[in-house]
C-alpha cells in the first residue's frame, strides 16, 4: 500500500497501483517523503477527491492498536505501537546519578523539597502518563497526516479497581453497601484490622512465648513483590518475627503478591484525556469489540481489534498485507561517561556515520543498531530489543561491521518495522 499526499501536503486516498507510482517517481511528478510506511508527495496539481475513512484505536497502557477502514470494510492501514514503561526507572536512575554527583563534586547544600513548580502545579500529570498519552496522540495525528480520516473511534475502558479487588461487589445484595464499607471499615488502618482479625495473638507460637509485643508481618516480602493487603499480612510476636527473619523458623503461611491494578488506573486517566483532546470522537468499549470480533471469527490481536473497531463490527477485507510495528524509545542516551567515578568518556556522537537506534540493512535484512564500538563493530537488534545472533554466518561476518551496514533511516523516538500479516 502506497500513501499519497497532494501538492500542498494534504492526504489523498492510498493506492495499490505500484506501476503508476513508479511511473510518477521516474518522470519526476512525485517524490518519496517517507519509506516506512511508503509515502509519496505529488508535484503537480491534482483532484482532492477522497472517501470517508474511519480510524479505530484500541487504546492501551502497554500496546496500542490502530486501523483505518473504508465504508465497505476495506482495511487500508494497520499499526501496533509498543508504549514505553521505563520512564519511572530512568528518572529514578537519573536522580541517583545526580545525587551521587552532587555529593562528590559540590559543597553541601541543605536539601529543599517541593521547590519545583512542575511538582506542585495544579492538575499535574505524571511523566509516565504524559509519555503514554503522547504515544496515543502521536500515532493518531500521524495517521491523519497520511490518510484523510473523517471519523475517529476510540475503544476506552472504565475500570472499577474496587470491584477488581473485591469481586463480591458484583452481587446486588452486597453492592449497595460494599462501596461504602471497605475492608478496613471501622479500623484505623490495615494493621489494626489484621490484629483484630487474628485475635491479637501470634499466629506462629499461639502465645507460647508470652511476648506481649505484637507485629504485623508480610508473608511474601515486599522486596519479592508482596502485597500490602490483609491477605498478605499476619500477626506475629516480636520473638517469632525476629526468628523468622533470621531464618531460624520457617512457618508455612500463604500470602499474596501485589496486584497489577496500576494499568487499570492509568487507562482511566488516559480515557479522560483522550476524550478531552478529541471531543468529536466516538467511544466504544471492549465488551462490544469482543462480541463483534467473535461474531466475525477473527483472532485476538491489538491491530485486529482496531480493525473491528474501525469497521463498526461489519465484515472486513485486508487490502494491505502489512502491520507497522512501532516502539517508543528515549530520544537519546544521557550517559556520557562510564567507570566507578564516571571518568571514562563515551562517544555520544556518530561512529562512522551511525548512531544508536539507526535502522540499517545488513546483508539484505533490516535491523536496528543496539550498540556501537569505536573499533567499527556494531551490535544489532530487532524491534523488540533482542540481540541478533550472527554466529552461523561465514567467517568475518559473525560480528557485524559498520562498514558493511547501509543506513535505511536515521534514529527517531519511534522505531518502525514492517510485519507481514
SS (H, E, C) 127-154: HHHHHHHHHHHHHHHHHHHHCCEEEEEE
What is the helix, strand, coil percentage profile of the chain, to 5?
30, 25, 45
Q: Which residues of the chain have pLDDT under 50?
A: none
C-alpha torsion angle, residues 251, 167, 302, 266 (rounded to 10): -80
CA distance 300 to 316: 15
**Other beta carbons less than 10 A from residue 242's beta carbon:** 14
Q: Which grid coordinates belong to 239?
A: 520473638
**CB of 57 closer than 8 Å to CB of 282:** no
H or E stretch covering 267: helix 262-277
The HSE-up count of residue 154 (CA atoms within 13 Å, CB side) is 24
Residue by residue, DSSP assigns 372-388 as E-TTSBEEEE-TT-PBP
Residue by residue, DSSP assigns 196-245 as HHTTTS-TTTTTTT----EEEEESS-GGGTB--SGGGEEEEEHHHHHHHH
Phi, psi of 215 (to 5 degrees): -135, 155
Instruction: Give the domains, in start order, of the chain with CATH numbers.
Output: 3-42 (no CATH), 337-412 (2.30.30)
> Tell me, what's the pLDDT at 136?
94
> Tell me, what's the pLDDT at 170?
67
CA distance 3 to 38: 6
C-alpha torsion angle, residues 60, 65, 70, 72 (rounded to 10): -90
Q: What is the pTM of this model?
A: 0.79
**CB of 153 closer than 8 Å to CB of 52:** no
> Tell me, what's the pLDDT at 174?
61
CA distance 369 to 367: 7
The HSE-up count of residue 386 (CA atoms within 13 Å, CB side) is 5
Collapsed DSSP state (helix, strand, coil) of residue 346: coil
> Tell me, what's the pLDDT at 238?
92
H or E stretch covering 155: strand 149-156
H or E stretch covering 100: helix 87-105
Q: Which grid coordinates belong to 12?
A: 489523498
Q: What's the pLDDT tens digit per position in 245-260? A: 998 888 888 888 876 6
Amino acid at each position: 500500500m502506497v500513501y499519497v499526499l497532494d501538492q500542498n501536503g494534504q492526504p489523498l486516498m492510498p493506492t495499490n497501483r505500484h506501476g503508476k507510482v513508479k511511473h510518477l517517481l521516474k518522470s519526476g511528478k512525485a517524490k518519496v517523503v517517507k519509506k516506512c510506511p511508503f509515502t509519496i508527495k505529488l508535484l503537480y496539481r491534482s483532484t482532492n477527491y477522497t472517501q470517508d475513512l474511519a480510524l479505530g484505536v484500541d487504546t492501551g497502557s502497554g500496546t496500542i492498536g490502530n486501523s483505518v477502514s473504508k465504508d465497505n470494510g476495506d482495511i487500508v492501514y494497520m499499526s501496533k505501537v509498543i508504549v514505553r514503561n521505563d520512564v519511572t526507572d530512568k528518572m529514578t536512575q537519573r536522580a541517583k546519578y545526580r545525587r551521587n554527583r552532587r555529593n562528590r563534586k559540590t559543597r553541601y547544600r541543605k536539601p529543599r523539597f517541593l521547590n519545583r513548580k512542575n511538582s506542585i502545579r495544579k492538575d499535574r500529570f505524571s511523566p509516565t502518563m504524559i509519555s503514554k498519552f503522547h504515544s496515543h496522540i502521536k500515532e493518531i495525528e500521524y495517521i491523519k497526516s497520511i490518510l484523510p480520516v473523517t471519523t475517529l473511534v476510540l475503544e476506552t475502558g472504565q475500570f472499577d479497581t474496587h470491584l477488581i479487588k473485591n469481586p463480591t461487589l458484583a452481587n446486588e445484595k452486597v453492592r449497595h453497601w460494599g462501596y461504602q464499607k471497605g475492608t478496613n471499615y471501622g479500623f484505623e488502618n490495615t494493621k489494626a484490622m489484621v490484629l483484630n482479625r487474628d485475635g491479637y495473638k501470634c499466629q506462629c507460637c499461639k502465645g507460647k512465648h508470652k511476648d506481649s509485643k505484637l507485629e504485623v508481618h508480610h508473608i511474601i516480602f515486599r522486596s519479592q513483590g508482596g502485597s500490602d493487603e490483609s491477605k498478605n499480612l499476619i500477626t506475629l510476636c516480636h520473638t517469632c518475627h525476629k526468628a523468622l527473619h533470621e531464618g531460624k523458623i520457617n512457618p508455612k503461611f500463604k500470602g499474596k503478591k501485589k496486584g497489577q491494578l496500576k494499568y487499570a488506573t492509568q487507562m482511566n486517566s488516559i480515557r479522560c484525556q483522550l476524550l478531552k483532546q478529541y471531543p468529536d470522537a466516538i467511544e466504544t468499549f471492549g465488551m462490544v469489540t469482543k462480541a463483534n470480533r467473535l461474531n466475525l471469527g477473527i483472532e485476538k490481536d491489538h491491530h485486529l481489534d482496531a480493525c473491528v473497531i474501525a469497521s463498526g463490527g461489519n465484515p472486513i477485507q485486508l487490502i494491505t498485507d502489512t502491520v507497522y510495528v512501532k516502539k517508543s524509545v528515549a530520544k537519546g542516551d544521557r550517559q556520557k561517561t562510564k567507570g566507578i567515578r564516571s571518568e571514562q568518556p563515551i562517544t555520544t556522537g556518530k561512529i562512522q556515520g551511525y548512531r544508536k537506534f539507526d535502522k540499517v540493512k545488513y546483508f539484505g535484512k533490516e535491523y536496528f543498531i543496539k550498540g556501537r564500538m569505536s573499533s567499527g563493530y556494531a551490535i544489532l537488534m530487532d524491534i523488540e530489543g533482542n540481540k541478533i545472533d550472527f554466529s552461523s554466518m561465514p567467517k568475518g561476518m559473525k560480528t557485524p561491521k559498520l562498514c558493511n551496514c547501509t543506513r535505511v533511516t536515521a534514529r527517531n523516538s519511534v522505531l518502525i518495522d514492517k510485519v507481514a500479516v
